[in-house]
C-alpha cells in the first residue's frame, strides 16, 4: 500500500477511497481515484500490476436498512455484489457506499429506477 500511495501521490493523483483487507501473502488493494488516466500512467511507469473495474458509488441515508434496500434490489435482479465498502459522509447523515457488481449496466438501471441517490 505504501508503494502505491507514494507513486500516486507523486503523480498528483488523489485517492478518493480504498479498501485493503487483511490477507496472508499478496493482497488486493482496491482504489477509487480522482484521475483515472493519471493513475494508469503512474502505475504503469512504476511497473505496478493493476486491473480495472467499474464501481457504483451510492449516497444512502445513514440509517438501519438502507444498505439492505440496495442489496435486495440487486438480489431480485439477480445481480451479484462482488465487493463492497462504505464510510459515513463528513456530516454523518449519509453513507457513501462503493460496490462492484456482476452486471454494472443492469445495476445502474435497477438502482436509478428506485430513485436512489448519486452514482
Q: Does 119 reside within a domain?
A: no
- Residue 3 CB neighbours (<10 A): 10
pLDDT at 27: 81
DSSP letters spanning the chain: -HHHHHHHHHTT--EEEEE----SSS---EEEES-HHHHHHHHHHTT--------EEEEEESSTTHHHHHHHHHHHTT--EEEEEEEE-TTSSEEEEEEEES-HHHHHHHHHHTT----
pLDDT at 64: 93
The count of structural domains within the chain is 2
Q: Does 90 reside within a domain?
A: yes
Q: Does 118 reside within a domain?
A: no
Q: Residue 94 sits in a domain of what CATH number?
A: 3.30.70.260
Give the tens place of pLDDT for each residue, 62-92.
Answer: 899 999 999 999 999 999 999 999 887 777 7
pLDDT at 113: 64
Residue by residue, pLDDT tens for the chain (119 residues) are 899 999 999 999 999 989 888 888 778 899 999 999 999 999 999 999 999 998 988 888 889 999 999 999 999 999 999 999 988 777 778 888 999 999 999 999 999 865 454 33
pLDDT at 23: 80
Q: Does 81 reside within a domain?
A: yes
Residues 74 and 32 in one domain: no
Residues 109 and 63 in one domain: yes
pLDDT at 115: 42
Residues 29 and 78 in one domain: no
Residues 21 and 65 in one domain: no
Q: Does 50 reside within a domain?
A: no
Q: Are the CB atoms for 101 and 80 separated by under 8 Å?
A: yes
Residues 34 and 77 in one domain: no
User: Which among 113, 97, 25, 5 has a CA at the least distance from the CA of 58?
Assistant: 97
**pTM of the predicted model as reported, rounded to 2 decimal places:** 0.78
C-alpha distance across the termini of the chain, in Å: 26
Residues 76 and 27 in one domain: no
Q: Does 101 reside within a domain?
A: yes
Q: Does 51 reside within a domain?
A: no
Residues 41 and 63 in one domain: no
Residue 97 is part of which domain span? 56-113
Amino acid at each position: 500500500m505504501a508503494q502505491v500511495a507514494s507513486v500516486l501521490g507523486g503523480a498528483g493523483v488523489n485517492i478518493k477511497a480504498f479498501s485493503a483487507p487483511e490477507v496472508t501473502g499478496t493482497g488486493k488493494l482496491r482504489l477509487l481515484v480522482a484521475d483515472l488516466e493519471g493513475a494508469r500512467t503512474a502505475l504503469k511507469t512504476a511497473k505496478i500490476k493493476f486491473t480495472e473495474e467499474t464501481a457504483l458509488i451510492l449516497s444512502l441515508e445513514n440509517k438501519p436498512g438502507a444498505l439492505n434496500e440496495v442489496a435486495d434490489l440487486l438480489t431480485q435482479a439477480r445481480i451479484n455484489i462482488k465487493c463492497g465498502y462504505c464510510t459515513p459522509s463528513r456530516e454523518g447523515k449519509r453513507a457513501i457506499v462503493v460496490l462492484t457488481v456482476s452486471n454494472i449496466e443492469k445495476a445502474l438501471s435497477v438502482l436509478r429506477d428506485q430513485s436512489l441517490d448519486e452514482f
